[in-house]
């Protein structure tokens, strides 16, 4: 096992061991400037991951949602970074729902090294290099950022639609074919999608970022990204 995959296994183990404490912090939250929430659970998960990274990958810079904004920061496309979403789906988390996830992507000298999607309360995770089941589905996953008018414009077809409210859950479902397709047309941050994008590539999905095929490039928190991925090849 590579160092990178070992670190991600440690992340899973450490978060699982602290899950009772993390879950106890659901109702301790504040509202951020962008009107989203951050809970003390988010911050605890971030602390757990950063402690491991400082031990095992001290040469990598850290980009985490709860360190934002990154105004004035300079990024190097050939640099070494770990991109973290401590709790993706914080709204779900603070509401007592189990569909929330932890996302981590490791890049070394600009090249993807390993990624993790971990759904702690669902006892599920996928790390680069792991096998996973593949399904056939007619379910399309939708982003919770869609508005009523967007939903009314969905085409009539032999599909079912799901809105779960957690990018990690959605992208893992698409990687496995549990969703035939998932997309976010409003735009999301790099920490929301890098783990899912890279795991999707590994498992044979077709992936787009900003309407162009994605091939594992490092994304930075300098913009929002529109993403699409399909478990059944090229998107129509």
pLDDT digits (tens, 9 = 90+) for 68-122: 889 889 999 999 999 999 999 999 999 999 999 999 999 999 999 999 999 999 9
Q: Are residues 34 and 119 in the same domain?
A: yes
Could you tell me the maximum CA-CA distance found in the chain, to the nearest angstrom? 52
Give first-to-last CA distance, the chain, whole Å: 38
- pLDDT of residue 235 exceeding 70: no
At 210 the three-state DSSP class reads coil
User: Does a structural domain hold residue 133?
Assistant: no
- pLDDT-derived band of residue 149, with 50, 70 and 90 as boundaries? confident
Provide the CATH number for the domain around residue 120: 3.30.540.10
User: How far, in Å, CA of 164 to CA of 180, rounded?
Assistant: 15
User: Does a structural domain hold residue 145?
Assistant: yes
End residue of a domain, out of 60, 92, 127: 127
Provide the CATH number for the domain around residue 189: 3.40.190.80
- Quote the pLDDT of residue 152: 72
End residue of a domain, out of 99, 127, 155: 127
Q: Are residues 122 and 159 in the same domain?
A: no
Which structural domain, as residue segments, surrounds residue 31?
3-127
pTM summary value: 0.95
pLDDT digits (tens, 9 = 90+) for 24-54: 999 999 998 888 899 999 999 999 999 999 9
- Quote the pLDDT of residue 1: 66
Q: Are residues 143 and 107 in the same domain?
A: no
Query: What is the average per-residue pLDDT within 169-195?
Result: 95
- pLDDT-derived band of residue 234, with 50, 70 and 90 as boundaries? low
Q: Are residues 160 and 120 in the same domain?
A: no
User: How far, in Å, CA of 150 to CA of 12, rounded?
Assistant: 36
Residue pair 99/105 in contact (Cβ under 8 Å)? The answer is: no
- Quote the pLDDT of residue 35: 83
Query: What is the average per-residue pLDDT within 193-216?
Result: 97
CB neighbours of residue 205 within 10 Å: 23
User: How far, in Å, CA of 135 to CA of 187, rounded?
Assistant: 27
- pLDDT of residue 159 exceeding 90: no
| Per-residue CA distances from 230 to 37, 140, 146, 224 (Å) | 30, 9, 19, 20
User: Does a structural domain hold residue 181?
Assistant: yes
- pLDDT-derived band of residue 66, with 50, 70 and 90 as boundaries? very high
80-89, 153-162, 214-223: which range is least confident on average? 153-162
- pLDDT of residue 236 exceeding 80: no
Tell me the percentage of the chain whose pLDDT exceeds 90: 84
- Quote the pLDDT of residue 198: 98
**Beta strands in 89-198, from DSSP E residues, in sequence order:** 101-108, 111-119, 124-127, 139-142, 160-163, 181-188
User: How far, in Å, CA of 116 to CA of 218, rounded?
Assistant: 15
Kindly report the backbone phi and psi dihedral angles of residue 67, in degrees, each rounded to the nearest multiple of 5, phi listed first.
-100, -10
Average pLDDT taken over every residue of the chain = 94
């Amino acid at each position: 096992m590579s160092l990178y995959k070992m670190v991600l296994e440690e992340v899973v183990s450490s978060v699982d061991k602290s899950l009772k404490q993390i879950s106890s912090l659901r109702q301790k939250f504040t509202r951020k400037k962008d009107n989203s929430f951050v809970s003390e659970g988010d911050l605890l998960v971030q602390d757990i991951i950063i402690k491991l990274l400082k031990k095992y990958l001290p040469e990598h810079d850290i980009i985490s949602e709860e360190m934002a904004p990154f105004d004035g920061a300079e990024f190097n496309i050939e640099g070494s970074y770990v991109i973290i979403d401590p709790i993706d789906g914080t709204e779900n988390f603070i509401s007592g729902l189990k569909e929330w996830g932890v996302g981590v992507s490791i890049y070394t000298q600009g090249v993807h090294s390993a990624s993790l999607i971990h759904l702690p309360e669902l006892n599920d995770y996928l790390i680069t290099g792991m096998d996973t089941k593949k399904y056939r589905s007619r379910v399309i996953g939708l982003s919770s950022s869609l508005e009523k008018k967007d939903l009314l414009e969905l085409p009539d077809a032999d599909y079912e639609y799901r809105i779960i409210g957690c990018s990690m859950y959605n992208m893992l479902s698409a990687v496995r074919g549990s969703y035939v397709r998932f997309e976010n047309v409003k735009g999301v941050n790099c920490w929301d999608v890098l783990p899912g994008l890279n795991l999707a590539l590994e498992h044979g999905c077709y992936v787009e970022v900003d309407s162009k095929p994605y091939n594992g490039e490092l994304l930075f928190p300098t913009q929002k990204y529109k993403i699409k991925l399909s478990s059944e090849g090229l998107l129509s």
